[in-house]
Structure formats: structure tokens, C-alpha cells
Amino acid sequence: MKKHIVVMGVAGCGKSSLGAALARAAGLPLVEGDDHHSAASRARMSQGIALTDADRQGWLDILGQQLQAHPQGVVLTCSALKRAYRDQLRAARPGLRFVFLDIERAEAQTRVAARSSTHFFSSSLVDSQFATLESPVGEPGVLQVDATLGLDQLEAQTCAWLNNKELA
């Protein structure tokens, strides 16, 4: 069965970890959304400057192309904070499913601060992520999970949801 999955949420929620686990479990390629940000966008974020919709447009175009380039399925990590961003990705790959890693602001802040030496994203931007987030809960093809659960639990919940024949 073809599966096209976006692991989404604010910075620090665990997109990369869950995305990698799901890709391994499903035997699918992983596309790390952060790898496709422009140098200018990376520089802005590392300086604590939040991206605008215009800054994200080219990035979302590239991610849509990545979804189309994997007709047999793919796991994509992408914040997908706004409904418009998710709808753009859905237009690129109808039937796309989203796993929303839900996390509290304080926990996200702690996680982002802990990785500051290895990731370009400034911890000062966590608040802007929450301000931008339009919850996907209630949209079609969305699973909401608690980002503070262990990776094994998150993987098991997500795989059970993805393998539910009623969703196919």
C-alpha cells in the first residue's frame, strides 16, 4: 500500500525522530524538510528571525515536488504549521496523511534549547511557532499524538493508524 505521510508540528516536537522511525518501519524513504530550506531562510532562523509566508513558499513548493517524486510512498518531516501549508502539500499528493506531534510550549522550548549546538533553529523562535500554528485537529487524514510519549509508543500508535484499512 502506498503511504504518503507528513510528520508535523512545532520545533522540538520530535518530527525528525518519529519520521525516521516511521520510514524504517514502513520501508519508505525519508525526506527531512529542514534539509530543503534555503540558505537565506536558515540564516534568518539561526538569527531568531521568524519566516514569513513568502519565505516558506519556495520551501513548500520543493516539499510538494518531493511528495510527487515518490509515487510509492514517502515520510516527510515538515512543520506544516498553517492549514494553507497543509493544503498546498495535499494538492501535491492527494490522500496525504499528517501525524501531528502535539506538545506544550514549555517542553518544546526545553527541547529546542537542548539541541542549540547541533541545529540551526533559534530557541527564541519557539513562541512564533506556537503563534503561527493552526491546529490540524479535525482535518481529514490527521492523527494527533502526544509528543511526550516514548518513540516506540509514537511509532506503534502511528503505524496502527496508518494500517487501519478504514482509512485506506
How much of the chain exceeds pLDDT 70, in percent? 86
Spatial separation of the C-alpha atoms in residues 18 and 101, rounded to whole Å = 9
Query: 72: domain range?
Result: 27-167
The answer to whether position 5 is within a domain reads no
**Does the pLDDT of residue 124 top 70, yes or no?**
no
- The pairs formed by 144-151 with CB atoms below 8 angstroms and a separation of 24 or more are 144/100, 144/102, 145/99, 145/100, 145/101, 145/102, 146/102, 146/103, 147/9, 147/13, 147/14, 147/101, 147/102, 147/103, 147/107, 148/103, 148/104, 148/107, 151/14, 151/17, 151/18, 151/21
The answer to whether position 156 is within a domain reads yes
The answer to whether position 152 is within a domain reads yes
Spatial separation of the C-alpha atoms in residues 41 and 23, rounded to whole Å = 26
The answer to whether position 37 is within a domain reads yes
The answer to whether position 92 is within a domain reads yes
Grid cell locating 14? 520530535
Q: What is the pLDDT of residue 168?
A: 46
- Please tell me the total count of domains within the chain: 1
The answer to whether position 14 is within a domain reads no
Is the pTM higher than 0.85? The answer reads yes
Q: In the Cβ-directed half-sphere of 8, how many Cα atoms lie within 13 Å?
A: 28
The answer to whether position 18 is within a domain reads no
The answer to whether position 102 is within a domain reads yes
CATH code assigned at 75: 3.40.50.300
Render pLDDT for 85-96 as a digit per residue (tens, 0 to 9).
Answer: 999 999 999 999
